[in-house]
Amino acid sequence: MNSKTISLRTMSLKSLILASLISIAVPAAAHDAENGPHGGRVVEAGSYHIELVAKDSTVDVFLTNADDKPVSAAGFKGTAILVVDGKAQRIVLQASGAKLTGKADVALPAQPKGAVQLTAPDGKTASAKF
């Protein structure tokens, strides 16, 4: 084999690997929406879709089922662990009407990074990364 043949095979292998990675990543992210009905990001978490809305120091979490129908927050408990200025903020979430809500000790960015962990009334847990 000459160097031109080896170079073409290496390029083809790299292209195949890149195409495979893209095809795996796209379906995994396809169900996550940029914005939900309340203006927050929506992430799939088990059998739920979790929408995270942050405004000032308030965190609101809205739940929907796999059919995007609202799920009552009654009986749910949760925690949002959000990173603000490089520090983790742990925010206890409690049911309040149709959502879970909590207050941070600091102002939150509009789209914070972190995670939401929920416990359903039946004891099952779900988590979402934002």
Please give the Cα distance from 54 to 113 (Å, whole number). 11
Domain membership of residue 36 (yes or no) is no
* 80 in Cβ contact with 102 (< 8 Å): yes
Mean pLDDT (whole number) for 93-110: 95
Strand order in the sheet with 41-45: 41-45, 48-55, 58-64, 99-103, 87-96, 77-84, 113-119, 125-129
The residue segments making up the domain with residue 6 are 1-30
Residue 29 has pLDDT above 60, yes or no: no
Mean pLDDT (whole number) for 5-13: 44
Domain membership of residue 35 (yes or no) is no
Residues 24 and 74 reside in one and the same domain: no
Residue 6 has pLDDT above 50, yes or no: no
Residues 48 and 22 reside in one and the same domain: no
Q: Out of 24-33, 61-70, 111-120, pick the least confident.
A: 24-33
Domain membership of residue 84 (yes or no) is yes
Residue 23 has pLDDT above 80, yes or no: no
* 76 in Cβ contact with 24 (< 8 Å): no
CA proximity to 60, closest of 93, 33, 85, 36 = 93
Please give the Cα distance from 95 to 51 (Å, whole number). 14
Max Cα separation, the chain? 70
By residue count, the chain amounts to: 130
pLDDT value of position 35: 85
Share of the chain above pLDDT 70, in %: 74
Residues 50 and 103 reside in one and the same domain: yes
Residue 22 has pLDDT above 80, yes or no: no
pLDDT in tens, 44-100: 998 899 999 999 999 999 999 989 899 999 999 999 999 999 999 999 999 998 999
Please give the Cα distance from 49 to 91 (Å, whole number). 19
Q: Out of 10-14, 44-48, 57-61, 124-128, pick the least confident.
A: 10-14
Residues 61 and 124 reside in one and the same domain: yes
For 100, phi then psi, to 5°, come to -105, 140
When divided into structural domains, the chain yields a total of 2
